[in-house]
Amino acid sequence: MKPCVYILMFSLLLISCGQSVRHEAVVVKEKTNESEDPSGEYLYAKYTCIACHSLKGQSMYGPPLNTIYMKNVEVVRNGKKRSLVADREYLEKAIMDPDFERVQGFEQRLMPRPDIPEGDLKILVDYLVLMNASPD
């Protein structure tokens, strides 16, 4: 498929959810060398987390990701509400298996199941942990 078709499909998905989406401007430096590990910021954009999740505290299509780490989170799993602490294990599971449980209030919102290599997942979660520690 051509890139414009993907953009059109994604736009329709956002319109159909009935939410206005504000994108955050993020300048991402691409890898300059294959042996260089990608940055968490680069992976956040590459895997399109930025399209639905804020790192500034606002709810978008999905919950903000800069205020979640090591906090109590209300989730829904198999129709039952649960409270848990959003530790590294939770973040990894939520990214790789988004249908397992969903943050309360976002149960009806679909998240794609990404194909993220384990090394990239670790870097991405490290980045989210860092973003939760930032005063911004």
Query: In the block, which residue shows the tokens 């384990």?
Result: 118
pLDDT digits (tens, 9 = 90+) for 70-127: 999 999 999 999 999 999 999 999 999 999 999 999 999 999 998 999 999 999 999 9
Q: How many domains does the chain have?
A: 1
State the residue range of the domain holding 37: 3-133
So what's the pLDDT on residue 3? 52
What sign results for the dihedral spanned by CA atoms 110, 116, 120, 121? positive
Checking if the pLDDT of 41 tops 80, the result is yes
**pLDDT, mean over the chain:** 81
CATH number of the domain encompassing residue 42: 1.10.760.10
Any residues with CB less than 8 A from the CB of 113 and at least 6 apart, and which? 96, 97, 98, 99
CA-CA distance, 40 to 80, in Å (whole number)?
33
On whether the pTM is more than 0.85, the answer is no
